[in-house]
Amino acid sequence: MTEVRAFFRRHGVSIIVLGVMAAIWQILSLLYTTEAVPGEPMIPGWQVVFTRTLISLSDYWQGGLGVPSVAEGAPPSYTAALLAIVSNSLDTMVRLYLGLLIGGLVGTFLGLAVSWSKWSRRTVELPLQFIRTLPLLAMVPLFQLWFGIYFAGKVAFVAYGVGVIFFAGVVNAVKNVPQVYIDNARTQGANRVQLYLTIILPSIFPELRATILLSLGTAWGAVLGAEYLGAQSGLGYIIVYSEAFAYLDRMFVVALLFVFYASISYAIFNRLSLKLLQWMPRVGRVIVVG
Amino acid sequence: MGRKSRRRGILRIDPVGIFGVFLLIMIWQALTLALPPSSLPTPSSVVARIGRDFIRAEELSFYGLADTGLLNSMIYTATNVMIAVALGSLVGTIAGFVTARFHNVRAILDPIVMTMGTIPILVLAPFFLIWFGVERMSAVLLVVLYVAVILYIFAQRAADNLDPVYEEYAYTLGASSKRIVWDILIPGTVPQVLGGIRIALAGAWGLEAIAELLGAQYGIGKIIQVLAGATDVQGIFAALIVLGLVAVISDGLAALVFAHVAAWSAAARPGGN
């Protein structure tokens, strides 16, 4: 009971504000009843979202597990709708986290590699800056042409977006490692490899926290972008399909799911990284936003 | 250090970096040997394409985009970005200052802004396109929203970090709240806020392009969308590179102007923190 009370004391205002936002949405839906197409309100109220919309999501269930799909002639049901949400969310998340993993590893590795000498770092800095300004989402069509519209294309796109951020983040973080640390290890006879393992890697992690948070946000955007243009499943696919028919209520449900998943992934990462950084003095743990 | 040499310091380009750009182009050229031109055009053909499409792009007229070229589209996109960054910065900065000083407002606005900030633009864009139509308005509003979120965070943090001693001292000398805002809060936070505007501006180009890609009549994003439909990789490269160059140049200009505006501040100087 005390834990519940503590939770509410800490997050009480946020919960109330979210409740008020939900109420304002409802009021807007009552005041502004224009319809995008007949039967599809511009602002779907909660009474629509939790009944008609939720059940209509069973359109996206592809059958199996003893629950027939709507395409096979079965009537829409809450079971199928729930399965549709779970299976499409899983599809999106597999693409997201696989891309994140590959991009993170490749980006970190390349970043460490060019940081090996001052000359290689100076060589990549300017071209990297230009590559970073190329708008990621506008490159979706290119990745489709290169890697196809199936699984590989989406993962490659997320990995590219995440990889560029990690690459830049690692290069910058290594540059900011205090020279004192390096000199000190050098005078004690550490070689390059030892230097990387014992000094560079642990000291860049705090700065990489901001990079990882940024790449999480980018990854969510990228996976959606990849699904936007040619996918047969996933949350992005549902949004595209819904937009074509102006099903604003379905888009709204998926948007809510997105905010929910993204917030959870941020929260998990925050907890995890704070735990990993417990050895640091407080100063180094400041969260960097932006 | 004189003003002139400082200004040159901001736009200093590492000669080794130029070599890096050259190296990147060489790698690109080498890759074209292994890949067909339909999936990776050569650098020289892309440059030629930029030249050919700059004023008026013939290919685009086949796809229903008559009488437009990269220059025209870029001007449309740039106008939208400028309007959006100006508007979003204003709204975000004011909201950030207000919330930094009034804790009740902050308790209400913080969760709203943070929720807004986590929604990917691609989720929000379809709503805006249906609510506000596929005209200029949708794209500008989308970018305004994201710029405002960034500036909200930056302005709030800058005002939080401003040593309270300044304001307390001014109060004891009998300054009015209005004087404090104009003489202490704004000058004291200008460097950080300008830094936020630069970050927002850099991101705004991509957001504007994607907003146009999803539904617009004009703009560089519209060109990319049309060319993607025709799987014209060369054209997409040309459009992307023009967009990237404009973004880099605008960032350089912003750095120059902002360093001039905040020349008195140690934080705005290159190498300063």
Q: Residue B1 above 50 pLDDT? A: no
CB-based contacts of A71, cutoff 8 Å, min separation 6: A59, A62, A63
What is the count of structural domains for chain A? 1
pLDDT in tens, B189-225: 888 888 889 888 888 888 888 888 887 788 888 888 8
**DSSP structure class, residue B56:** -
| Inter-chain touch A141–B240, beta carbons under 8 Å | no
**DSSP structure class, residue B232:** -
Which pLDDT does position A286 carry in this prediction? 44
Contact residues, B window 234-263, toward A, CB-based 8 Å cutoff: 236-237, 240, 243-244, 247-248, 251
Residue A30 lies in a domain: no
Contact with chain A for residue B130, Cβ under 8 A: yes
CA distance B261 to chain A (A): 22
Report the residue of B123, B131, B151 to disrupt the A interface, i.e. the one with the largest count of A CBs within 10 Å.
B123
User: What is d(CA A162, CA A231) in angstroms, rounded to the nearest whole number?
Assistant: 20
Residue B130 lies in a domain: yes
Residue A42 lies in a domain: no
Which pLDDT does position B271 carry in this prediction? 42
CA distances to A79, A85, B48, B116, B131 from A255, in Å? 21, 12, 42, 11, 15
Contact with chain B for residue A34, Cβ under 8 A: no
- Which helix (H) or strand (E) segment holds residue A250: the answer is helix A248-276
Low-confidence ranges of chain A (pLDDT < 70): 1-2, 7-10, 36-37, 39, 63-75, 229-230, 280-290
User: Which residue segment(s) compose the domain that B219 sits in?
Assistant: 70-268
Residue A80 lies in a domain: no
Residue B15 lies in a domain: no
Which pLDDT does position B12 carry in this prediction? 66
Residue B10 lies in a domain: no
User: What is d(CA B4, CA B75) in angstroms, rounded to the nearest whole number?
Assistant: 31
Supply the CATH number for residue A146's domain.
1.10.3720.10
Contact with chain B for residue A267, Cβ under 8 A: no
Contact with chain A for residue B196, Cβ under 8 A: yes
Confidence class of residue B10 from pLDDT cuts 50, 70 and 90?
A: low
Which pLDDT does position B49 carry in this prediction? 85
What is the count of structural domains for chain B? 1
Q: Which of A41-50, A156-165, B63-72, B134-143 is most confident?
A: A156-165
Among residues B253, B246, B259, the alpha carbon closest in space to that of B80 is found at B246
Q: Residue B265 above 80 pLDDT? A: no
CB contacts of A220 in chain B (<8 Å) are 120
Supply the CATH number for residue B215's domain.
1.10.3720.10
CB contacts of B244 in chain A (<8 Å) are 130, 133-134
CB-based contacts of B179, cutoff 8 Å, min separation 6: B170
Q: Are A133 and B244 spatial neighbours (Cβ–Cβ below 8 Å)? A: yes
Residue B7 lies in a domain: no
Q: Residue B8 above 60 pLDDT? A: no
Calculate ∠ Cα B33-A162-B31, nearest 5°.
Answer: 5
Q: Residue B160 above 50 pLDDT? A: yes
Which pLDDT does position A71 carry in this prediction? 67
Closest residue in chain B to residue A239, using alpha carbons only: B123
Which pLDDT does position A214 carry in this prediction? 79
Among residues A63, A64, A44, the alpha carbon closest in space to that of A54 is found at A44
Q: Check residues B260 and B143 and name the one with the higher pLDDT.
A: B143
User: What is d(CA B232, CA B223) in angstroms, rounded to the nearest whole number?
Assistant: 11
Contact residues, A window 101-130, toward B, CB-based 8 Å cutoff: 119, 122-127, 129-130
CA distance B4 to chain A (A): 23
Q: Residue B266 above 60 pLDDT? A: no
CB contacts of B28 in chain A (<8 Å) are none
CB contacts of A136 in chain B (<8 Å) are 206
**DSSP structure class, residue B69:** -
User: What is d(CA B9, CA B54) in angstroms, rounded to the nearest whole number?
Assistant: 32
Q: Residue B6 above 70 pLDDT? A: no
Q: Residue B51 above 90 pLDDT? A: no
Instruction: Map residue A63 onto helix, strand or coil.
Output: coil
CA distance A141 to chain B (A): 6
Confidence class of residue B45 from pLDDT cuts 50, 70 and 90?
A: confident
Cβ neighbours, 10 Å, residue A267: 10
Among residues B235, B241, B207, B267, the alpha carbon closest in space to that of B65 is found at B235
Contact residues, B window 58-97, toward A, CB-based 8 Å cutoff: none
User: What is d(CA B41, CA A45) in angstroms, rounded to the nearest whole number?
Assistant: 50
Residue B53 lies in a domain: no
Which pLDDT does position A285 carry in this prediction? 43
CB-based contacts of B269, cutoff 8 Å, min separation 6: B6, B259
User: Which residue segment(s) compose the domain that A265 sits in?
Assistant: 86-285
For B154, the closest of A119, A224, A290 (CB atoms) is A290
| Inter-chain touch A146–B240, beta carbons under 8 Å | no
Report the residue of A9, A33, A126, A270 to disrupt the B interface, i.e. the one with the largest count of B CBs within 10 Å.
A126
Which pLDDT does position B91 carry in this prediction? 94
Return the half-sphere exposure (C-beta side, CA atoms, 13 A cut-off) of residue A78.
Answer: 3
Task: Determine the average pLDDT of the residues in B122-148.
Answer: 85
CB contacts of A246 in chain B (<8 Å) are 130
pLDDT in tens, A265-286: 888 888 888 787 777 665 444 4
Confidence class of residue B110 from pLDDT cuts 50, 70 and 90?
A: confident
Q: Are B253 and B202 spatial neighbours (Cβ–Cβ below 8 Å)? A: no
Which pLDDT does position B121 carry in this prediction? 78
Q: Are B167 and B102 spatial neighbours (Cβ–Cβ below 8 Å)? A: no
Q: Residue B4 above 50 pLDDT? A: no
Which pLDDT does position A74 carry in this prediction? 67
B156 CB burial (10 A radius; 0-12, 13-18, 19+)? buried
Residue B106 lies in a domain: yes
Which pLDDT does position A83 carry in this prediction? 80
Which pLDDT does position A73 carry in this prediction? 66
Q: Check residues A54 and B145 and name the one with the higher pLDDT.
A: B145
Task: Judge if ipTM > 0.90.
Answer: no
Interface A–B counts its CB contacts (< 8 A) at 146
Among residues B118, B156, B115, the alpha carbon closest in space to that of A14 is found at B115
Instruction: Report the percentage of chain B scoring pLDDT > 70.
Output: 89
Q: Residue B255 above 50 pLDDT? A: yes
